[in-house]
């Protein structure tokens, strides 16, 4: 097997057995990025020198018998995560020159686990988008077909894993940005329960919805990375104190006892959505059959407020964004427009030139919805709808262990196809937004391909803090279905 095809688990074993070195492995990814990333555009920053230096140190540690859980494993991080000494742009011109003085908690945990940081991946500006076309730097293409988007906003991270430019990566998910690009790129993406992973050092988009999570080649690697990044953090007051299991035990549990005794909920409102592509439906049905064959009981459930999810999310997320992004004013961070001679004009010019059109649209929607006189009608009402969505899930989970659904209504669309149509773009988030609104975990697992050869995933959602069941069921699906399919795009 080629070095760049290795999963985290496989690479780790070979490193520990001293069959390969971390320098070789890191070099293999750097060479591949060098050869192909001008076509894919997965990375904004490649940190070659420091990555090789970290790899040398990792080899040293391994030879002394001091390896930690990720020692020597090269990873990529979405460029929304603060990395000490490494530029963190958030895909925005306004942070073009921002070099953080600290690592975010998840990043620090990966480093403490011995991981190598290859670089920072492309994204929709501040995480706002579903296609990675809203980056100020470049458009990322789908490794399976360069005319199609990789999904977004963590499109760079998903494309980097799929194109084998890293062993695994972290993305962030506010309304689907880990799961949807993972589905479009044929890799695994896990959004943990809200609060499971500290948000400290994650540049905020919508603080009550944002979560960091793994994007990996398989479910085993998702469990491995999740194990490293979870846990309570005094630096994030919303981070949970919940006990943390060893998530890799979920996989062992599948190997031992299968999925018999589990019940999957099938939300009827999801499958009756008009606009659900027949090929997505087909892949969904085949995944459902796999679960049935594995002895999982299927149960139709209802999530009655599904029709209001998109509208409520696209009020709440912009409201929080308009507040979070107020700090980027040309004074405290990043880009400043020097052409204005008074303060107000400087603010206006800085924001007009520093933020792209989608971010400006969200700031305007958010500011409007929060303004006196409109707050109750928009933000207040959207928050009430959010409570109803949470209740829908609480009721549904009384009768099932996980919910099975499509990830996106259609396979990856063509680059440019929806860029002038924000509403269509927003509507394509219908199946992923509710997990963030309800704070529950959700994972996208590759489950098939469209007739055009584009990957299609299915989503498994779990009860709050029950990533364990999601991983166990997702692993069961992966063992049964994905191994029969082609695994890598040809670059
Ligand atoms: N597509 C959604 C949005 O634009 C979700 C993005 C995300 O999860 N960061 O807001």
Mean pLDDT of all residues belonging to the chain: 97
Contacts of 301 by beta carbon, 8 Å cutoff, 6+ apart? 265, 266, 267, 268, 396, 399, 400, 403
**Pocket of ligand 1 contains residue 318 by CB under 6 Å:** no
What would the pLDDT profile of 119-138 be if each residue is shown by its tens digit?
Answer: 999 999 999 999 999 999 99
Q: Which of 81-85, 328-332, 471-475 has the lowest mean pLDDT?
A: 328-332
**Pocket of ligand 1 contains residue 176 by CB under 6 Å:** yes
Say what the pLDDT of residue 333 is. 82
Query: Backbone phi, then psi, for 461, in 5-degree steps?
Result: -110, 145
Mean local confidence (pLDDT), 208-236? 98
- What SS3 class is residue 269? helix
CB burial string 410-427: b at 16+ within 10 A, e below: bbbbebebbbeebeebbb
Contacts of 470 by beta carbon, 8 Å cutoff, 6+ apart? 190, 402, 441, 442, 443, 460, 461, 462
Q: Assess whether pLDDT exceeds 80 at residue 486.
A: no
51 neighbors 33 (Cβ within 8 angstroms):
no
Q: Assess whether pLDDT exceeds 90 at residue 366.
A: yes
Whole-angstrom distance, CA of residue 198 vs CA of residue 200: 5
Kind and range of the H or E run holding 458: strand 455-462
209 neighbors 436 (Cβ within 8 angstroms):
yes
Q: What are the tokens at 77?
A: 């991080």
Say what the pLDDT of residue 482 is. 60
CA of 314 from ligand 1 middle (Å) equals 9
Identify the CA nearest to 198 among candidates 212, 186, 184, 208: 212
Going by their DSSP bridges, the two strands 188-191 and 211-216 should be labelled as antiparallel
CA of 124 from ligand 1 middle (Å) equals 9
Residues serving a catalytic function are: 78, 153, 177
**Pocket of ligand 1 contains residue 425 by CB under 6 Å:** no
Say what the pLDDT of residue 334 is. 87
440 neighbors 464 (Cβ within 8 angstroms):
yes
What would the pLDDT profile of 367-422 be if each residue is shown by its tens digit?
Answer: 999 999 999 999 999 999 999 999 999 999 999 999 999 999 999 999 999 988 99
Whether the link from the prior residue into 153 is cis, omega within 30° of 0, is: yes
Out of 152, 208, 210, 418, give the residue to mutate to test ligand 1, the one with the largest number of ligand atoms within 8 Å of its CB: 152
DSSP for 364-404 reads: HHHHHHHSTTTTIIIIIHHHHHHHHHHHHHHHHTTS-SEEE
Q: Assess whether pLDDT exceeds 80 at residue 487.
A: no
**Pocket of ligand 1 contains residue 177 by CB under 6 Å:** yes
66 neighbors 86 (Cβ within 8 angstroms):
no
Q: For residue 209, which atom of ligand 1 is closest to its CA?
A: 8
Query: Backbone phi, then psi, for 212, in 5-degree steps?
Result: -95, 145
Q: For residue 128, which atom of ligand 1 is closest to its CA?
A: 4
- Residue 141 per-residue DSSP state: P
What would the pLDDT profile of 245-279 be if each residue is shown by its tens digit?
Answer: 999 999 999 999 999 999 999 999 999 998 999 99
Mean local confidence (pLDDT), 212-235? 98
What would the pLDDT profile of 146-187 be if each residue is shown by its tens digit?
Answer: 999 999 999 999 999 999 999 999 999 999 999 999 999 999
Q: For residue 154, which atom of ligand 1 is closest to its CA?
A: 9
**Pocket of ligand 1 contains residue 173 by CB under 6 Å:** yes
CA of 153 from ligand 1 middle (Å) equals 6
Say what the pLDDT of residue 313 is. 98
CA of 44 from ligand 1 middle (Å) equals 19
Whole-angstrom distance, CA of residue 155 vs CA of residue 179: 10
**Exposed / middle / buried, residue 250 (Cβ in 10 Å: 0-12, 13-18, 19+):** buried
CA of 83 from ligand 1 middle (Å) equals 22
Identify the CA nearest to 29 among candidates 61, 60, 73: 73
Identify the CA nearest to 142 among candidates 59, 42, 227, 228: 42
Model confidence, pTM = 0.98
What would the pLDDT profile of 185-217 be if each residue is shown by its tens digit?
Answer: 999 999 999 999 999 999 999 999 999 999 999
**Pocket of ligand 1 contains residue 469 by CB under 6 Å:** no
What percent of the chain has pLDDT above 70? Answer: 99
Say what the pLDDT of residue 490 is. 87
How far lies 243's CA from each of 231, 254, 359, 398, in Å? 8, 21, 37, 22
Q: What are the tokens at 432?
A: 């992923």
Say what the pLDDT of residue 1 is. 77
pLDDT band at 481 (very low <50, low <70, confident <90, very high): confident
pLDDT band at 483 (very low <50, low <70, confident <90, very high): low
Q: At what angle do helices 467-480 and 248-257 cross, to 10 degrees?
A: 50
**Pocket of ligand 1 contains residue 317 by CB under 6 Å:** yes
Q: For residue 172, which atom of ligand 1 is closest to its CA?
A: 9
Q: Give the bridge partners for 76, in sequence order.
A: 119, 169
Domain ranges of the chain: 1-491
Identify the CA nearest to 396 among candidates 292, 305, 285: 305
CA of 288 from ligand 1 middle (Å) equals 27
Between residues 486 and 256, the one the model is more confident about: 256
Q: What are the tokens at 331?
A: 């004074």
What would the pLDDT profile of 36-66 be if each residue is shown by its tens digit?
Answer: 999 999 999 999 999 999 999 999 999 999 9
Say what the pLDDT of residue 73 is. 98
Query: Backbone phi, then psi, for 394, in 5-degree steps?
Result: -60, -40
Q: What are the tokens at 148?
A: 């199609």
Say what the pLDDT of residue 298 is. 98
448 neighbors 481 (Cβ within 8 angstroms):
yes
Mean local confidence (pLDDT), 283-296? 97
Helix then strand count (H, E) for the chain reads 17, 11
Q: For residue 176, which atom of ligand 1 is closest to its CA?
A: 8
**Pocket of ligand 1 contains residue 175 by CB under 6 Å:** yes
Place of tokens 């937004």: 433
Mean local confidence (pLDDT), 346-359? 97
How far lies 390's CA from each of 108, 137, 463, 468, 477, in Å? 32, 37, 11, 20, 27
CA dihedral 231, 240, 267, 222 (to 10 degrees): -10
Q: Give the bridge partners for 449, in sequence order.
A: 455
Say what the pLDDT of residue 81 is. 98
Q: Within a 10 A sphere around the Cβ of 38, how many other Cβ atoms?
A: 9
Out of 151, 153, 203, give the residue to mutate to test ligand 1, the one with the largest number of ligand atoms within 8 Å of its CB: 153
CATH of 1-491, one of 3.90.1300.10, 1.10.287.130, 1.10.10.60, 1.10.1060.10: 3.90.1300.10
**Pocket of ligand 1 contains residue 429 by CB under 6 Å:** yes
CA of 132 from ligand 1 middle (Å) equals 10
CB burial string 76-104: b at 16+ within 10 A, e below: bbbbbbbbbebbbbbbbbbbeebebeebb
- What SS3 class is residue 282? helix
**Pocket of ligand 1 contains residue 174 by CB under 6 Å:** yes
pLDDT band at 292 (very low <50, low <70, confident <90, very high): very high
Mean local confidence (pLDDT), 320-347? 94
Q: Assess whether pLDDT exceeds 70 at residue 484.
A: no
């Amino acid at each position: 097997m080629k070095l760049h095809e290795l999963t985290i688990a496989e690479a780790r074993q070979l490193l520990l057995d001293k069959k390969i070195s971390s320098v070789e492995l890191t070099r293999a990814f750097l060479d591949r990025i060098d050869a192909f990333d001008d076509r894919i555009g997965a990375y904004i920053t490649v940190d070659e020198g420091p990555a090789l230096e970290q790899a040398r140190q990792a080899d040293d540690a391994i030879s002394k018998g001091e390896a930690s859980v990720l020692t020597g494993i090269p990873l990529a991080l979405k460029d929304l995560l603060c990395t000490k000494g490494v530029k963190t742009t958030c895909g925005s011109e306004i942070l073009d020159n921002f070099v953080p003085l600290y690592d975010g908690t998840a990043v620090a945990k990966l480093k403490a686990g011995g991981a190598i940081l290859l670089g920072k991946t492309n994204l929709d500006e501040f995480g706002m988008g579903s296609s990675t076309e809203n980056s100020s730097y470049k458009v990322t293409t789908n490794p399976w077909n360069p005319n199609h988007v990789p999904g977004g906003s963590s499109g760079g991270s998903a494309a980097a894993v799929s194109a084998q430019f890293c062993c695994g990566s972290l993305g962030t998910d506010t309304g689907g940005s880990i799961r949807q690009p993972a589905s479009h790129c044929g890799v695994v993406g896990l959004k943990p329960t809200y609060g499971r992973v500290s948000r400290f050092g994650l540049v905020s988009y919508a603080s009550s919805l944002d979560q960091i999570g793994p994007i990996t080649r398989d479910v085993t690697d998702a469990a491995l990375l999740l194990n490293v990044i979870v846990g309570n953090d005094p630096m994030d007051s919303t981070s949970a104190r919940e006990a943390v299991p060893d998530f890799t035990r979920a996989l062992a549990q599948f190997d031992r006892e299968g999925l018999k005794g589990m019940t999957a909920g099938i939300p009827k409102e999801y499958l009756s959505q008009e606009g659900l592509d027949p090929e997505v439906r087909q892949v969904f049905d085949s995944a459902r059959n796999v679960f049935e064959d594995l002895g999982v009981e299927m149960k139709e459930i209802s999530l009655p407020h599904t029709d209001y999810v998109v509208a409520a999310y696209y009020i709440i997320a912009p409201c929080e964004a308009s507040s979070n992004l107020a700090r980027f004013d040309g004074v405290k961070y990043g880009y400043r427009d020097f052409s204005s001679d008074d303060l107000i004009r400087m603010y206006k010019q800085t924001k007009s030139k520093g933020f792209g059109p989608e971010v400006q649209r969200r700031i305007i929607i958010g500011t409007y919805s929060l303004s006196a006189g409109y707050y109750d009608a928009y933000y207040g009402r959207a928050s009430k709808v959010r409570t109803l969505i949470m209740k829908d899930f609480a009721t549904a989970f009384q009768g099932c262990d996980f919910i099975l659904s499509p990830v996106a209504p259609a396979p990856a669309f063509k680059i440019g196809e929806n860029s002038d149509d924000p509403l269509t773009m927003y509507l394509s988030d219908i199946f992923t937004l509710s997990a963030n609104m309800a704070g529950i975990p959700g994972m996208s697992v590759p489950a098939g391909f469209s007739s055009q050869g584009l990957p299609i995933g299915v989503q498994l959602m779990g009860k709050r803090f029950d990533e364990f069941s999601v991983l166990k069921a997702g692993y069961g699906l992966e063992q049964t279905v994905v191994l029969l399919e082609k695994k890598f795009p040809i670059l």
